[in-house]
Amino acid sequence: MRARSFLFGLSAVVVVAAGAWAAEPKFEVGTVPGRQTRGARLGAPEMRLSLQDAITTALAHNINLEVSRLSLASAQQGFLGSTGIFDPQVKSALGATYYEAQSTNQLVGANVALQRGREFNLSLGGLVATGGSYSVGWTNSRSKTNSSFYFLNPSYSSGLTFSLTQPLLKGFGTDVTRTGIEVARRSRDISNVQFEETVINTAQAVESAYWNLVYAIDNLKSKQHSLLLAQDLVDQTRSRVRIGTSAPIDVVQPEAAVAARELDIIVAENAVGNAGDVLKGLLGFENPEDWASTIIPTDALEGVAEHPDLDKSIAEAIDKRPELRQRQLELEIGQVNLVAARSAARPQFDLSLNYGYAGVGGDSTVYDPQTGNVISFTRGGWSDALRQLRNRDYNQWSAMVNFSYPLGNHQAKALVAQDRFAVTSARQNIALQRQAVIADVRNAVRGLEASGKAITAAVKSRELAERNLDAEQKKLAAGMSTNFQVVKIQDDLAAAQAAELQSRVLYRQAVATYKVAVGSFLESLGITIKGEPEPKEPHTALKDVRWLKYGPGPKDGAGAPAL
């Protein structure tokens, strides 16, 4: 009788709505680190948790997720840092010189040559999107000497120069120049995908741990019920001994069964504690008071049966699985590097252009060549040099082409070959990942179907064990059976109950595994990942001008033109 009442009570709490998650508002997982509070209390001494509560708590407080957020933030900064190659550089120099030496000829104009100098230079330069470099320089100097042969003493000079160097073969192209940026961008995107995988793995681990805890608790209840059955048998046997229908030795068998059931309860209680600790760790518990709390799951094992279509499941998985997106990004990184390597294998052929203006000024002194007396003196200074610079009185320019090419060029060609192999390998990895995805889906579908059938078989086995025990107890009451036989059948019923519970756990875990395999796990839970808005790239000039690119981009083709 107790067996039936126990199982009726168990079945009354295992009805769960399949759309429980869908009815709830969506939960967003943030990607910004630093919003968790380490060591804070997260729960009450007794926590009643639904599966939804457990997953949302874990996604908010799981420590491993916070580590993944930090990795994602680091990758984001790596991308922003890579754009710094276009940051203009300001350089300045301020200095002074002093020179004194014995004169070695009369042209020095003094017995001891003495010269003092000062200079101040300022320049602005940087990288051009097409691979060249530019600079604007302003130079200033003051020189004073004791020589009588200088017309301007002290003399001031100032110059303004504009320089541009542009590679025409090796190093030409906006895509070549932006190699580091595009690689860093895709590395950041890979970190985004990896964060999504961490969220999926965390949520799946929480669900698995949650159902394991439900199983451990229900299994403990089953063991406690088995103990009650054994104690009932002891009481019945003692009653028969008192009225003389059984021998005193007949009590030994049911008492041994009671001792065995008590041992089973000890093991089951330990399993409940272990399962609870696993879930607490995933929830992000750090405070000792949280670890001492008791988690009471409110969701039951039974759910609505899933009957997935294999072909549709495979198509959905190929479209949604994050691993395939990661492999595609890795291929794009290889293609970006291949374009840069092919450019680096070309001859160095650069065009250099320089243009500028110069100005001089200072005190002008004219000496009589015969007597050495001063004929005239005109006061001047730095302003004279700046005025000439402003009026562009004196200009200067140069144009030059530079060519270089290593004979054989073995190193560059080897790097091209290595990057080509890397691209081919990345394509093979995509094919390998697709193969793994298809295998995952097939295994998940089979596992789901097998788990569903296992529940049917386990339920039937448990029902037959109940009927068998009921019949055996009636036979025992009629004197047609023995305590040994009843205890054995009680053991069979306990095993059947445990098998049914285990099959239900495996089915719920199989459902989660299937949804992970097809890439719909987070969607089915109503979970979205709220990524931060992509920061504006500071330097984007000319990056989309097609004719300024050396080779096709990762979205346009597999590589670059042949050498």
Helix 63-82 / helix 51-61 crossing angle, nearest 10 deg: 50
The pLDDT, as a whole number, for residue 237 is 77
The pLDDT, as a whole number, for residue 120 is 94
Are both 194 and 138 inside the same structural domain?
A: no
Are both 68 and 101 inside the same structural domain?
A: no
Are both 140 and 162 inside the same structural domain?
A: yes
Are both 127 and 156 inside the same structural domain?
A: yes
Looking at the predicted structure, is the pLDDT value of residue 282 above 60?
yes
Point out the domain boundary residue: 377, 410, 443.
Answer: 410
Nearest to 129 by CA among 417, 547, 533, 558: 547
558 within some domain: no
Looking at the predicted structure, is the pLDDT value of residue 557 above 60?
no
479/201: higher pLDDT: 201
**What is the number of structural domains in the chain?**
2
Point out the domain boundary residue: 351, 375, 410.
Answer: 410
Are both 388 and 318 inside the same structural domain?
A: no
441 within some domain: yes
Q: Is 294 helix (H, G, I), strand (E, B) or coil?
A: strand
Q: Mean pLDDT in the chain?
A: 85
530 within some domain: yes
Q: Tens digits of per-residue pLDDT, 283-310?
A: 988 877 878 888 899 988 776 777 889 9
Looking at the predicted structure, is the pLDDT value of residue 107 above 80?
no
Q: Give the confidence band of 542 by pLDDT, cuts at 50, 70, 90.
A: confident
Mean of pLDDT values over 384-398: 90
What percent of the chain lies above the pLDDT cut of 90?
Answer: 49
Are both 73 and 147 inside the same structural domain?
A: no
How far is it, in rounded angstroms, from Cα 408 to Cα 355?
Answer: 36
214/546: higher pLDDT: 214
Are both 401 and 540 inside the same structural domain?
A: no
- Among 149-153, 225-229, 489-493, name the one with the lowest average pLDDT: 149-153
The pLDDT, as a whole number, for residue 119 is 92
331 within some domain: yes
Are both 318 and 244 inside the same structural domain?
A: yes
Q: Tens digits of per-residue pLDDT, 170-227?
A: 999 999 999 999 999 999 999 999 999 999 999 999 999 999 999 999 989 988 988 9
Cβ partners under 8 Å of residue 370, min gap 6? none
The pLDDT, as a whole number, for residue 162 is 97
Looking at the predicted structure, is the pLDDT value of residue 113 above 70?
no
Looking at the predicted structure, is the pLDDT value of residue 110 above 90?
no
The one-letter code for the residue type at 71 is S
Q: Give the confidence band of 145 by pLDDT, cuts at 50, 70, 90.
A: confident
Looking at the predicted structure, is the pLDDT value of residue 547 above 90?
no
563 within some domain: no
511 touches 444 (CB < 8 A): no
Mean of pLDDT values over 464-486: 82
Mean of pLDDT values over 341-357: 95
CATH code of the domain covering residue 231: 1.20.1600.10
The pLDDT, as a whole number, for residue 372 is 61
Looking at the predicted structure, is the pLDDT value of residue 52 above 80?
yes
Count of C-beta atoms within a 10 Å radius of residue 401: 9
Domain boundaries, position 230: 2-80+179-335+413-548
Are both 235 and 119 inside the same structural domain?
A: no
- pTM summary value: 0.83
Looking at the predicted structure, is the pLDDT value of residue 103 above 80?
no
Q: Tens digits of per-residue pLDDT, 496-527?
A: 988 888 889 999 999 999 999 999 999 989 99
How far is it, in rounded angstroms, from Cα 557 to Cα 563?
Answer: 16
Point out the domain boundary residue: 362, 380, 410.
Answer: 410
554 within some domain: no
Looking at the predicted structure, is the pLDDT value of residue 491 above 50?
yes
Q: Give the confidence band of 25 by pLDDT, cuts at 50, 70, 90.
A: very low
Are both 365 and 433 inside the same structural domain?
A: no
Return the residue matching tokens 């769960």: 16
Helix (H) or strand (E) holding 543: none
Are both 529 and 511 inside the same structural domain?
A: yes
Looking at the predicted structure, is the pLDDT value of residue 539 above 50?
yes
286 within some domain: yes
Mean of pLDDT values over 377-386: 78
Q: Is 169 helix (H, G, I), strand (E, B) or coil?
A: coil
Are both 286 and 268 inside the same structural domain?
A: yes
15 within some domain: yes
Chain centre to alpha carbon of residue 436: 21
